[in-house]
Amino acid sequence: MTFSLEHEQEALHKCKAGNREAFGALYEAYADRIYRFLFYRAFSREIAEDLTSKTFLKALENIHSYDARKGAFGAWLYRIARNVFVDHYRAERSTVDIEELFSLGEEDRLSERADAKEKLRRVWDYLQALPNEQRNVVLMRVWDGLSYREIAEILGKSEGSCKVMFSRTIARIKEEMPLALAILSFYSFS
C-alpha cells in the first residue's frame, strides 16, 4: 500500500487529536528515509539506529507542535533528524576516512580499483573541506534525493538560495577537479 499525502494528513490529524497510535503509519512511511539520512552522515549502523530511534521518539512526543502551515511533515521530521545528528556529533569528529566510506560503498567493484579509489578520495576530500552548509545541500540533493523545496524547509532557507548554493558548489567541484573525473568516466554508472 502506498502512503499518500491524504494518508499522511489523516494520520497527523489523528495524532494531534490525541490518538498517538496513528503515528505508526507515519513511522512506516518515513523510517527508511530517515535511517538513510542519518546513516549517510554517521557512517555507522549502530549510531544511525540510535539516532533514528531518537528522531522518531522526539517526533512522537512533540507531534502537537508540528504546524502544517509552516511546512511539510517530512521536512519537519528531517529537521528533527538533523538536529539529533548535530547534537550527537557536536563534540565528535566531523570527517570520515575514505577507506571507511569505501567499505560502506554502493559499488563494491569500484573499491577494488586503486586508481578509481584515488580519484574518489580527492572528490571526497574536497567534499569534506566544504563548509557544512554547502556539503549538506549537496548530500541532501544527491544522496538523499530531496527536492530544493524540501531542503529549503529543512534548512530554513529559501528554495532559490538552496538551488543557487547547490549549483555553485557543483560548478566549483567540477572546475577544480576535472582530472579526477576523467578516470571515473571509464566506468558506467547507473
Stretch of 2-10, 69-77, 80-88, 123-131 contacting other proteins, by CB under 8 A:
123-131
Are residues 26 and 8 in contact, defined by beta-carbon separation less than 8 angstroms?
Answer: yes
- Three cell numbers, residue 13: 490529524
Contact status: 131 vs other proteins (CB under 8 A): no
Tell which residue, 135, 37, 34, 46, has the closest CA to residue 94: 135
To the nearest whole angstrom, how small is the minimum distance from the Cβ of residue 115 to other proteins? 13
To the nearest whole angstrom, how small is the minimum distance from the Cβ of residue 68 to other proteins? 20
Contact status: 65 vs other proteins (CB under 8 A): no
Contact status: 178 vs other proteins (CB under 8 A): yes
Contact status: 78 vs other proteins (CB under 8 A): no
Contact status: 104 vs other proteins (CB under 8 A): yes
Exposed/middle/buried for 184, CB within 10 Å: 0-12, 13-18, 19+?
middle
Q: Identify the residue whose cell numbers are 556539503.
A: 135
Exposed/middle/buried for 154, CB within 10 Å: 0-12, 13-18, 19+?
buried
Tell which residue, 148, 138, 123, 107, has the closest CA to residue 41: 138
Stretch of 1-9, 24-32, 69-77, 87-95 contacting other proteins, by CB under 8 A:
24-32
Stretch of 18-26, 73-81, 86-94, 150-158 contacting other proteins, by CB under 8 A:
18-26
Contact status: 30 vs other proteins (CB under 8 A): no
Angle at 147 between CA 126 and CA 78, to 5 degrees: 85
3-state SS assignment for residue 189: coil
Contact status: 163 vs other proteins (CB under 8 A): yes
Q: What does the alpha-carbon distance between residue 55 and residue 49 come to, in Å, rounded to a whole number?
A: 10
Which of residues 60, 71, 130, 157 is near other proteins by CB under 8 A? 60
**Interface ranges with other proteins (CB under 8 A):** 18-21, 23-24, 27-28, 31-32, 35-36, 39-40, 43, 45, 48-49, 52-53, 56-57, 60-61, 101, 104-107, 110, 119-120, 123-124, 127, 138, 141-143, 145, 148, 163-164, 166-168, 170-171, 173-174, 177-178, 180-181, 184-185, 187, 189-190
